[in-house]
Amino acid sequence: MEQIKWAVNKMPKTADTNLPIMGLEEIKKARTFHESFPQYSKTPLTKLDQMAAYLGVKEVYIKDESYRFGLNAFKVLGGSFAMARFIASETGKDVSELPYAVLTSDKLREEFGQATFFTATDGNHGRGVAWSANRLGQKAVVHMPKGSTQTRLENIAKEGAQVDIQEMNYDDCVRLAAKEADETERGVIVQDTAWDGYEEIPSWIMQGYGTMAMEAGEQLKDYGCDRPTHVFVQAGVGSLAGAVVGYFTNLYPDNPPTFVVVEADVAACLYKGAAAGDGDPRIVDGDMQTIMAGLACGEPNTISWDILKNHVTVFIAAPDWVAAKGMRMLAAPIKGDAPVTSGESGAAPFGALAAMTTMDDYKDLRQAIGLDENSKVLLFSTEGDTDPDRYKNIVWEGKEK
């Protein structure tokens, strides 16, 4: 069995100029926007008391994004808010003036016209962009990397987007989408990764993800938990991780939780950067074949990277068996706990938590993050069974592909 790898963060700190992107007032604006959607409701925060006892920690909480807007994943939060912010900027408005009813009105469509939103995706982000474009009367073009499943393509196509699977990896699909957006009249790239010269829209996407983090913070208090001691979050390019880490750092400025970032080992660009220790980002290329399709991204978001290297304690590179273990344990938890339908990318952090608390091989990792019987752990299951056949193969049939 392939081993989990980890790197304790010893990178030099920066001036933290990107942390205000996830400031509480900014995220409140995103949350208010999402609340205006008729599809909006808080997704559940499931407390697993029996599992916490089994793992030797005090409390375990799973934010279950399989209920988000009927789309089975969290990604729509980012794409929808970024598109609204873009339309607001083009029409000289603040996004607070564009709740769902206004944004989808004939009057605004006449004022804004029609744009074509381009993106690259393994499935969830593209579906969110397509869904948002459909409701806003806009066009969407979605490119998917080699190895993407037909089920995820069909879910995007149902939203009226132009979608295809390319013979290239995710990062090359991003480049293709950016090129086509540049070459198209009123073409806009809506991507949750940032690079030099492309930072505004990714920062809006991260703020959109903040709605999920803000909900979780409120729900923890409803359970009587004032503050988690540990927050585990998965990473592809790092936008979600940067959003979650940034939000909770701002929420608990005097005593932030210990942050743990979990990546797929074949695409662990953040882990590689942390292992190098110099603070510079690292890039992974190639096909990056993993069941964690949502994490198969080899080039980090530059905004998020800055936040993560200032605030994360440990970066983990997880083999596929870690995600599969997490999926099975959440699907069939200990009697008394509610099951959580968590997809391959969604379950990776829980699989890592389970491995480090129950396997002697990872005792040092457990100690590196100070995980013990007093720990209160928050995790994010970012997707449900977005590919139902693959989910059944892993959870029912015991396969890991």
Q: Give the active site residue among 122, 171, 385, 387.
A: 122
Counting residues of the chain whose pLDDT is more than 70, the rounded percentage is 100
- Please tell me the predicted confidence (pLDDT) of residue 59: 98
Task: Give pLDDT tens digits for 290-341.
Answer: 999 999 999 999 999 999 999 999 999 999 999 999 999 999 999 999 999 9
**Residue 127 scores a pLDDT above 90:** yes
Fold classification of 76-193 is: Rossmann fold (3.40.50)
**Residue 351 scores a pLDDT above 90:** yes
- Please tell me the predicted confidence (pLDDT) of residue 21: 98
**Residue 401 scores a pLDDT above 80:** no
Per the CB < 8 A criterion, the answer to whether 270 and 238 are in contact is yes
How far is CA 244 from each of CA 23, 230, 240, 343, rounded to the nearest angstrom?
11, 12, 6, 19
How far is CA 262 from each of CA 14, 20, 276, 354, rounded to the nearest angstrom?
22, 23, 17, 13
Confidence of residue 12 (pLDDT cuts 50, 70, 90): very high
Average pLDDT, the chain: 97
**Residue 119 scores a pLDDT above 90:** yes
Task: Give pLDDT tens digits for 146-186.
Answer: 999 999 999 999 999 999 999 999 999 999 999 999 999 99
Secondary structure letter of residue 3 according to DSSP = P
- Please tell me the predicted confidence (pLDDT) of residue 400: 81
Tell me how many degrees the CA angle 72-299-245 measures, rounded to the nearest 5: 60
Residues of the chain with CATH 3.40.50.1100: 5-73+201-395, 76-193
Alpha helices per DSSP H over 286-343: 302-311, 320-331
CA 104, 105, 108, 113 torsion-angle sign:
positive
Among the listed residues 192, 219, 223, 196, the one whose alpha carbon sits nearest the alpha carbon of residue 208: 192
Q: Is the pTM of this model over 0.75?
A: yes
5-73+201-395 in CATH: which number? 3.40.50.1100
**Residue 262 scores a pLDDT above 90:** yes
| pLDDT mean over 49-69 | 98
| pLDDT mean over 345-367 | 98
CA 274, 276, 277, 282 torsion-angle sign:
negative
**Residue 94 is among the residues annotated as catalytic for this protein:** no
Per the CB < 8 A criterion, the answer to whether 133 and 117 are in contact is yes
- Please tell me the predicted confidence (pLDDT) of residue 385: 97
65 token code pair: 């994004």
**Residue 265 is among the residues annotated as catalytic for this protein:** no
Q: What does 329-371 look like in DSSP terms, one character per residue?
A: HHHS-STTSPP----TTTSHHHHHHHHHHH-GGGHHHHHHTT-
Count the Cβ atoms, other than its own, within 10 Å of residue 224. 7
Do the strands 162-165 and 258-264 form a parallel or antiparallel pair, or are they unpaired? Answer: unpaired
- Please tell me the predicted confidence (pLDDT) of residue 123: 87
Confidence of residue 224 (pLDDT cuts 50, 70, 90): very high
Locate tokens 């004032």: which residue?
A: 226
Total residue count of the chain as it appears in this document: 401
- Please tell me the predicted confidence (pLDDT) of residue 191: 96
- Please tell me the predicted confidence (pLDDT) of residue 40: 98
**Residue 125 scores a pLDDT above 80:** yes
Q: Give the active site residue among 29, 75, 139, 376.
A: 75
